[in-house]
Structure 1
Amino acid sequence: MSRHPQRQNTTASIGILAALFVTCMLGCAPYQFGNAALFPQNIRTVHVPIIRNSTFREDLGIRLTEALNKEIELRTPYKVTADPLADTVLRCEVIDETKRVLTENDADYVRALDAAVQVRASWSDRQGRLLMKNSIVPTDDLTILFSQDERFVPEAGQSIDTATQKAIEDLANRIVSQMEARW
């Protein structure tokens, strides 16, 4: 029988804990914490050219470009760059902007309206491979269509501009969400 059984148990426990620690560290080495783990790791930079606008509201492309740049910098590990030779390019086009009446009062005054913005988006790498694909409805189209509606009530002090800005911010959020890596 050993003279120090408690010392042997402590040494064995420390050895087991050390082995578990090393195994865990080696097994978890590629794991990343935070939102960076949601996005493809081989990309560092994204170029977002000024977004083309096919509507009569001239500022929509610029406003969406600013919202996308802000959203990419805020939510992804990527750096937005002006260099067209970045790792990837996110191209978008505002293709439609509409306003429609939802409700009127008895005197035919507008009570609530809906502002809608539609955008076509495509994200590709330097070789032209698409990185953002429509996984719900696969098509041969190289772009994904995004549409966002926002309700506004003029009587409450809301305007078409505030509703459109909210739609643009929501579109930027949805487009950046599509940049996440697929499981």
Structure 2
Amino acid sequence: MDGSLLNAKSRALVAIALGVMWVTLSTGCATYRFGADALYPVGIQTIHIPVVRNETFRPELGKQLTEALVREVQRRTPYKVVSNPAADSVLSCTIVSQSKTVLTESLSDDPRALDTAVTVHANWTSRNGQPLMQNSVAAEAGDLTGFSQNARFVPEAGQSIDTANLQAIEQLAGRIVSQMESRW
């Protein structure tokens, strides 16, 4: 077989392959994202989570929510949590209230079953200040997204408000990270 004929066929195959690649890239297939990455905003790779501000009388709640948020972001999202405030995005939260409600009492007026409620305001913004998290109920409610979580505890069964608050905090972290997903 002639060497020049072989080179011509090779060049033709390369030209066809480049043409197919150009058509594929120009029709939009290159921007399609697969897997869990498709759930989150484009262009964000790092997230800074400052210590959660706590406006309640239970000082441990801010630290607990910060730790729970870091765990949840690392476990469920493609983002890397960094300590640098100049990250691609910042998730800042404030615990605005914690309350305890008696649900049932014994005959001697001792609390038998109680609820604890923790309320948090969250704000997730990009490096340039663009909001990345939207309130699923009221999209134009402002910069903050509100979250509230209850947890029940029974002191007679050995449960305490501290364990109930921790349960509420962990559920809040899961809900906040779920809200970080892009809307369809």
TM-score class, shorter-chain normalisation, is: 0.7 to 0.9
User: What's the secondary structure of 2:50's corresponding residue?
Assistant: coil
Q: Secondary structure at the match of 1:37?
A: helix
Task: Name the structure 2 match of 1:119.
Answer: 120
Q: How does 1:37-116 map to 2 (within 5 A)?
A: 37-116=38-117
Aligned twin of 2:180: 179
Give 2:42's aligned amino acid.
Q
Q: What secondary structure does 2:93 align onto? A: strand
Question: Alpha-carbon deviation of 1:31?
Answer: 3.8
**Distance between the aligned counterparts of 1:171 and 1:49, measured in 2?**
16
Q: CA deviation at 1:39?
A: 1.3
Q: 1:97 aligns to what SS in structure 2?
A: strand
Question: Aligned-pair distance for 1:140?
Answer: 4.1
How far apart, in 2, do the equivalents of 1:126 and 1:31 lie? Answer: 22
State the TM-score, normalizing by the size of structure 2. 0.81
Paired residues in the alignment total 159
Is residue 151–residue 168 contact of structure 2 (8 Å, CA) maintained in 1? Answer: yes
One-letter code of the match for 1:78? Y
Judged with a 3 Å threshold, the aligned counterparts in structure 2 of structure 1 residues 40 and 138 are, in CA distance, closer, same or farther, namely closer
Fraction of identical pairs, as percent: 55
Q: Which range moves more in the overlay, 40-49 or 159-168?
A: 40-49
SS of corresponding position for 1:70: helix
For 1:79 and 1:56, the matched residues in 2 are separated by 32
Q: Which residue of 2 aligns with 1:9?
A: none
1:148-159 map, 5 Å: 148-159=149-160
Matches within 5 A, 1:127-138: 127-138=128-139
Counterpart position of 1:163: 164
- Measure the CA separation in 2 of the matches of 1:145 and 1:158: 27
- Quote the offset at 1:175 in angstroms: 0.3
The alpha carbon displacement at 1:138 in A equals: 2.9
SS of residue matched to 1:148: strand
Q: Which letter maps to 1:108?
A: D
- Alignment TM-score, normalising by the size of structure 1: 0.81
Aligned to 1:146: 147
The one-character-per-residue Cα deviations of 1:106-146 (angstroms, maximum 9, x if unpaired) are 22121100011110100000111101011322334210111
Question: What code does the residue aligned with 2:67 have?
Answer: E
> Residues 78-101 of structure 1: CA distance to partner in whole angstroms, max 9, x if unpaired?
000001000000010011011110
**Cross-structure match for 2:34:** 32
User: Offset of 1:105 from its aligned partner?
Assistant: 1.7
One-letter identity of the residue aligned with 2:142: D
Instruction: Provide the secondary structure at the position in 1 that maps to 2:130.
Output: coil
Structure 2 unaligned blocks of 5 or more: 1-19
Determine the C-alpha separation between the residues in 2 that align with 1:28 and 1:155.
Answer: 60
